[in-house]
Amino acid sequence: MNTARLAVFAPVDSTARVEAVVRRLTDAIALGLLTDGEQLPSEAELAAQLGVSTVTLREALMALRQQGLVETRRGRGGGSFVRAPDSLDVGVRLRAYAVDELRDLGDHYAAIAGAAARLAAQRALPSDLAPLRRSLAEMATADWDGRLRRLDGRFRVEVAAASQSARLTQEEIRLQADIGPLLWLSRDERRGHDEMSVRRLLDQHQTLVEAIAAGDGDRARALAERHVQDAMDHLIELRLRLQE
Amino acid sequence: MTSTVSTSAGSTAQVGTAVARVAQLTDQVYAALREVRDATVTALRDSLGAAPAPVVADLAALRPLLWRRLGALIAGIGFIAAPGLLADAPWYLEWWQENPSGRPVQLLRDLDPSSSAFYDYTHWDWYTGPQAGVEHTICGPYVDYLCTDEYSLTLSVPVTVSGAFLGVAAADVFVRRFEAAVLPALREIPGPAFLTNAEGRVVASTTARWITGAAYRGAPGFTAHPIRDLPLSLVAADT
């Protein structure tokens, strides 16, 4: 049988499966569900849990290793370990994006965050607001940057979930995986992890929660869009400076 | 949600039928949860208060039961341990999900709240309700971004031994399946009718004015009918 025919009979969407596994694990790492240094289950175990073949899983792990998100050590005490991108250099990450890509990502993220915030304001009930307030309270007392970042991610997912839309929530999680770490790193670069910058972030979130609680959908949307656009404007400025 | 309980002439019979249908569906799930509760108590009884204390492996005895109860309405089911119950895991879920392409899969999460921002489960309504002693808790509809990415309901009951709280038996039901199961009965009711949770979140509906996921905050001309002791109401237009 020639190669072309073999390709025809290759398992359907095995590439899509690899991508799905890569995306799932990338999301989990970006959101802090999987943490730096954490050991992943054995290949056989992980493949079984994710419902994919070992071959598919190995391909996905290879891609994650190339992205620096997973490290594999051989021998005794070996295995695959998570490498959270906390320490990734903004410049290195940013060079991978053209300015128009950043703008487009920002447009997409603002649309998702804005739409989710508007629907959340229309639909949120007290049990949807409680997690938001709890996350803000925890953020106010977070004692290190990694924890603050994870809580910030959780807060944004909770706002999206308050919209009652599973698709918007999935999209929020995906976009956080794509652009979240970069936005966070740029924030560090801009202001450092000092009390002022944390205060400002909390104030932004607090204002958004109030708009949602008041049922003011237009205001909630405008605020959520503004927050994304501000952060993205800054990221684009950083990117433009890299070219000089 | 403001509501008055009354029966209105005209659609009483159909409302009664729909109420009975909803009660029957939730009963199916609660019957499975009572089985999980009993099996958990049996699995842990010998080691409770004794040395050695119960461990994760003791809960493996639940698996055949959990697997059998998956399917139909139930997409995920299990026992969630109260933190500190088990000697070898401070946080633990014996949680299984249906898998359309094969054997059920166990949910494995990073359950260390100091490293994960997400998985301190003790603040979720499906945990706090049973913990406070409520027999029938229904959480949601909500976007379950932790497990299934689906719009879901989580039903839960407390698991206790001689008054001591061990944890929670819970089951996930996808809203789309629950909706499909109750809609035929709702459609029999003349005029708009919909099912809400205790807070007023719409679970299933025959009117675009309050569609699944919308918040019902009371309206003139509508009456909320309780569904037994369950945290659900059937709202129908007065006739």
The pLDDT tens digits of the residues spanning A8-46 come to 554 555 667 787 788 778 767 766 667 788 888 888 888
φ/ψ of A166, rounded to 5, equals -65, -35
Give residue A212's pLDDT band: very low, low, confident or very high (50, 70, 90).
very high
Is B218 strand, coil or helix?
coil
B199 shares contact with chain A (CB less than 8 Å): yes
B219 shares contact with chain A (CB less than 8 Å): no
Same-domain check for residues B148 and B224: no
B101 shares contact with chain A (CB less than 8 Å): yes
Q: Which amino acid is at B88?
A: D
B2 shares contact with chain A (CB less than 8 Å): no
B100 shares contact with chain A (CB less than 8 Å): no
Q: Note the pLDDT of residue A188.
A: 62
Tell me which of B174, B190, B221 is where a domain ends. Answer: B174
Weakest-pLDDT range from A221-225, B107-111, B149-153, B167-171: B107-111
The CATH code that applies to domain A90-243 is 1.20.120.530
Give residue A86's pLDDT band: very low, low, confident or very high (50, 70, 90).
low
**Nearest by CB: A32 against B102, B117, B125:** B117
A12 shares contact with chain B (CB less than 8 Å): no
Q: pLDDT higher for A230 or A93? A: A230
Q: How far apart are CA B195 and CA B222, in angstroms?
A: 12
Q: How far apart are CA B141 and CA A143, in angstroms?
A: 34
The C-alpha of A235 sits at a distance from chain B's nearest C-alpha, in angstroms, of 25
Give the ipTM. 0.86
Tell me the residue length of chain B.
239
Contacts with A124 from chain B: Cβ below 8 Å: 215
Same-domain check for residues B145 and B228: no
Is A40 strand, coil or helix?
coil
Tell me which of B119, B146, B174 is where a domain ends. Answer: B174
**Nearest by CB: A161 against B110, B117, B142:** B142
**Nearest by CB: B108 against A35, A49, A161:** A49
Q: How far apart are CA A145 and CA B36, in angstroms?
A: 41
Q: At what angle do helices A145-162 and A195-213 cross, to 10 degrees?
A: 10
B200 pLDDT above the threshold of 90? yes
Q: Note the pLDDT of residue A219.
A: 98
For residues A47-58, average pLDDT: 82
CATH number of the domain encompassing residue B121: 3.30.450.20
- Dihedral over alpha carbons A124, B216, A214, A167 (to 10 degrees): 30
**Nearest by CB: B110 against A35, A151, A161:** A35
Residues 6+ apart with CB under 8 A from A1: none
Burial readout A163-200 (b: 16 or more C-beta within 10 A, e: otherwise): bbbbebbbbbbbbbbbbbbbbbbbbeeeeeeeeeebee
Q: How far apart are CA B153 and CA B173, in angstroms?
A: 5
- Closest CA relative to residue B15, chosen from B231, B230, B222: B222
Q: Note the pLDDT of residue B194.
A: 98
The answer to whether A169 contacts B149, with C-beta atoms less than 8 Å apart, is yes
Interface test with B, best of A125, A133, A134 (most B CBs within 10 A): A125
Q: How far apart are CA A119 and CA A218, in angstroms?
A: 10
Same-domain check for residues B18 and B116: no
Interface test with B, best of A33, A129, A168 (most B CBs within 10 A): A33
The C-alpha of B12 sits at a distance from chain A's nearest C-alpha, in angstroms, of 30
A10-87 belongs to CATH 1.10.10.10? yes
Same-domain check for residues B36 and B111: yes
The tokens of A197 are what? 């910058």
CB A131 within 8 A of CB A139: no
What residues does CATH 1.10.10.10 cover in chain A? 10-87
Interface test with A, best of B95, B105, B118, B205 (most A CBs within 10 A): B118
Bridge partners (DSSP) listed for residue B97: B76, B105
Residue of A nearest to B106 (CA): A49
Same-domain check for residues B17 and B31: no
For residues B158-182, average pLDDT: 96
A180 shares contact with chain B (CB less than 8 Å): no
A160 shares contact with chain B (CB less than 8 Å): yes
Confirm whether B214 is domain-assigned.
yes
A124 shares contact with chain B (CB less than 8 Å): yes
What is the per-residue DSSP string for B93-118?
EEEEE--TTSS-EE------TTT-SS
Tell me which of B174, B189, B213 is where a domain ends. Answer: B174
Weakest-pLDDT range from A33-37, A61-65, A217-221, B203-207: A33-37
List of long-range contacts for A90-96, beta carbons under 8 Å, 24+ apart: A90/A182, A90/A185, A90/A186, A90/A188, A90/A189, A90/A238, A91/A242, A93/A181, A93/A182, A93/A185, A94/A182, A94/A235, A94/A238, A94/A239, A94/A242, A95/A242
Contacts with B145 from chain A: Cβ below 8 Å: 157, 160-161, 166, 169-170, 173
Interface test with A, best of B145, B152, B199, B233 (most A CBs within 10 A): B145
Weakest-pLDDT range from A216-230, B56-70, B89-103, B167-181: B89-103
The C-alpha of A166 sits at a distance from chain B's nearest C-alpha, in angstroms, of 5
The C-alpha of B220 sits at a distance from chain A's nearest C-alpha, in angstroms, of 19
Residue B219, domain extent: 12-23+177-237
Same-domain check for residues B72 and B105: yes
Same-domain check for residues B182 and B134: no
